Structure 1
Amino acid sequence: MKIILRSGAVTAAFGVGLSLVVLPAAPANATEGTHVRCNDINGLVKAINQANTSGGRITLAPHCTYTLTTANNPDDGLPEITGNVTISGRETTIRRARNATQDFRIFHVPPAGGARTLTLNSLTVSGGNLPNFAGGSIWNSGTLNLNRTTIKDNRAETSAGIHNLGGQLNLDHSTIERNTATLNGGGILNGRNQILDQPGTLTMKGGALRNNTALNDAGGGLENLRSTANLDSVAVEGNTAPRGGGINQFAGTLHLKSTTLSNNIAVTGAGLRNAFSTATLDRSLITHNTAITAGGGIFNENSNSVTLTDSKVVRNRPDNCSPAGSVPGCTNPTRTVKPPSSQLPPPAKGSKLRK
């Protein structure tokens, strides 16, 4: 039975002679799910609050845009996720209105005891804006599952797409694109929760980190800080940052399988910057990335561990790996390739660059 959030009674035709009978609205049942009419924001808020209490599935109208004009709480457009909530659509978008006067992200899964899980199926989440805070679209410190979902056109100081702080982030054939951070983590920041001493865990299967930007720091596509990231069959392409255009990691662990890093731009480490970290590439390709100074493919600081297994780092500018010899199996062109002129804006005055 489908339940539709609406007020009033349900009128039904019943019996011989088509006599009309007024029946009361059926009570909501968490196991059966709740359908929310197109752009019914009050209905969506009510459905999330209900699912937080008893768990449940929320189905949004297909080919519809749900536009948030005001925040539900100081930083979030919708209620915080405190239970087990699943929201599904079909070519459905949830976005912050372009003319909204408040700055807010869309979703927040805070840390706490007990299960806090948000699952998004076949949705687009866009327009979040937090110029002085983190997580432009989603902040996750619980469990976040994205299935065939797109996170795009969000802005924040850090982690414009997704801020995964000590949480479990699972992406299945999902795309993070065109998000812009003033500092670091244009697409995703996967980091350790220092208070709980809990690292973030990112698992991404299929999909893409595409055309994201970290304007003044690191990690255009992905910033992996003191945490673990596993990418399988992912396209990391067209991202930009001063350091680590495609991926930047500091004191983290990275595993790339059947993954391609291409057409990313940075001052150093256009494809991958690896600092105090371990990176393993299995049947992966780093190609056609451009660094302004060094590390067109990989910039491996402090001779950290980068292992290439059936993987190639080729046709990057001005070199494939820097310092030369720091990545076993990676060789640089025999002739000098002139670096291009800077394609990055200069860092903002007083910007906070992270180590």
Structure 2
Amino acid sequence: MKIIFPYGPTITAVGAGLCLAVLPTAPAGADDGTRVRCNDIPGLVDAINDANTNGGRITLAPRCTYTLTAPDNTDDGLPEITGNVTISGRDTTIRRDPDAAESFRIFHVVEDGTLTLKSLTVRGGLSTGTGGGILNERGTLNLNDSVIKDNFAATGGGLYNIGGQLALDRTTVERNASASFGGGVANDGGGTMTMKDGALRKNRAVNSNGGGLENIVGTATLESVSIQGNTALVGGGIRNPNGSTVNLKSSTLRDNIAVTGAGLSNLASTATLVDSLVTRNTAITAGGGILNEANGHVTLTRTRVVDNAPDNCSPDGSVPGCTNSTTSVAPPPSQKFLPDDDVKDPK
């Protein structure tokens, strides 16, 4: 009998009773690292532990869902990332089992650890603390062509980056929620966040602020990003308080909802918007497009803030170049939009 693996050589079985389930995770060449069979959780745990010690790449099965039924440690579904670990898939999902008895996030990157995820969906994490999907605690987290969705935490429903380096490339953060701040992403404690060609979409800070992004005492730079359909009490799309810095380029803040500051809430901080559009956001009281308070500084360069309700910017006159006229102005030709269906959503 011959057994042909999705990866690697053909193996000849010597006994009729050989079971695929007991075969070990397959080693791979230097380019591919360690390959882990579909939904082989013990194999994935072993591969992460080995990569923590020796560095290296882990390749998961394409179009496969790896389901975590119990935590590896107190708070995390998989071993803490302490080394330099890269995990790649192809339309591959790692999720917490919806019927799992315990609450746990999926990944936790600790100080000096580096985690790179490629073509993966991180889904269904549930944390009573920070980072429902992933917590990056003074480490480095890189997400490429990935999706963070349907996670929940007290703070940072999808991702919580505290004092670390967070880079998202062609990545979507959607349908995550937090009880407190940062429904999609919380960037805190001097953390640095960069995001390019992706979306913060339909996230919710249930009882607090920063539906899509809470950038608190941090620096966040977003280019060609759609921030759309997020909700919070303050800062439906983005909240930028307490001396933080947010930079938007060729991005859209659209269809977000909050009590105040539906598109962007800027409090005693700096926000720069270049070649961007803030439109169709709705606040219950004020700051439909932008709420700028406590001597905050907002700069608009080739950027339009239009068709927000009940106003575009509040207080009136606090954002140079922003008026509360109801006249719609077309975005500049250089404006880049990211339609809802532009980002692939692996299942």
The whole-number CA distance in structure 1 between the counterparts of 2:200 and 2:148 is 10
The amino acid that maps onto 2:285 is T
Q: Which residue of 1 aligns with 2:140?
A: 143
Post-superposition offset of 1:44: 0.3
The whole-number CA distance in structure 1 between the counterparts of 2:167 and 2:156 is 16
Tell me, which stretches of 5 or more residues in structure 2 are unaligned? 15-23, 328-347
Percent of residue pairs identical: 64
| RMSD over aligned Cα atoms | 2.2
Matched residue of 2:46: which SS? helix
Post-superposition offset of 1:111: 1.4
The amino acid that maps onto 1:241 is A
The whole-number CA distance in structure 1 between the counterparts of 2:61 and 2:213 is 32
The whole-number CA distance in structure 1 between the counterparts of 2:104 and 2:315 is 42
Query: Where in structure 2 are the equivalents of 1:65-84 lying within 5 Å?
Result: 65-84=65-84
Deviation string, structure 1 residues 58-101 (Cα, Å, up to 9, x no partner): 01000100000000000000000011100000110000000000
Matched, 1:230 2:221: yes
Counterpart of 2:160 (choices 158, 163, 186) is 163
CA contact (8 A) 1:30 1:51 kept: no
The amino acid that maps onto 1:225 is I
Post-superposition offset of 1:29: 6.6
1:334 to 1:68, Cα distance in 2 relative to 1, 3 A? closer
List structure 1 runs of 4+ shifted beyond 2 angstroms. Answer: 9-13, 24-32
Post-superposition offset of 1:11: 3.9
Deviation string, structure 1 residues 307-327 (Cα, Å, up to 9, x no partner): 000001000000000000000
TM (norm. structure 2) is 0.86
CA contact (8 A) 2:28 2:35 kept: no
Larger radius of gyration: 1
Post-superposition offset of 1:333: 2.6
TM (norm. structure 1) is 0.84
CA contact (8 A) 1:10 1:25 kept: no
1:301 to 1:53, Cα distance in 2 relative to 1, 3 A? same
Q: Which residue of 2 aligns with 1:309?
A: 301
Post-superposition offset of 1:239: 0.0
Q: Which residue of 2 aligns with 1:98?
A: 98
Matched residue of 2:42: which SS? helix
Q: Which residue of 1 aligns with 2:267?
A: 275
Query: Where in structure 2 are the equivalents of 1:196-345 lying within 5 Å?
Result: 199-250=190-241, 251-333=243-325
Post-superposition offset of 1:240: 0.1
Tell me, which stretches of 5 or more residues in structure 1 are unaligned? 14-23, 193-198, 336-355
Matched residue of 2:239: which SS? strand
Post-superposition offset of 1:48: 0.4
**Number of residue-to-residue matches in the alignment:** 310
The whole-number CA distance in structure 1 between the counterparts of 2:26 and 2:277 is 55
Matched residue of 1:242: which SS? strand
Deviation string, structure 1 residues 17-57 (Cα, Å, up to 9, x no partner): xxxxxxx9997776650110000000000000011111111
Post-superposition offset of 1:304: 1.0
Matched residue of 2:233: which SS? coil
Q: Which residue of 2 aligns with 1:353?
A: none
The whole-number CA distance in structure 2 between the counterparts of 1:273 and 1:177 is 20
Q: Which residue of 1 aligns with 2:335?
A: none
Post-superposition offset of 1:334: 6.6
CA contact (8 A) 1:30 1:55 kept: no
1:145 to 1:26, Cα distance in 2 relative to 1, 3 A? closer
1:331 to 1:68, Cα distance in 2 relative to 1, 3 A? same
The whole-number CA distance in structure 2 between the counterparts of 1:25 and 1:329 is 59
The amino acid that maps onto 1:175 is T
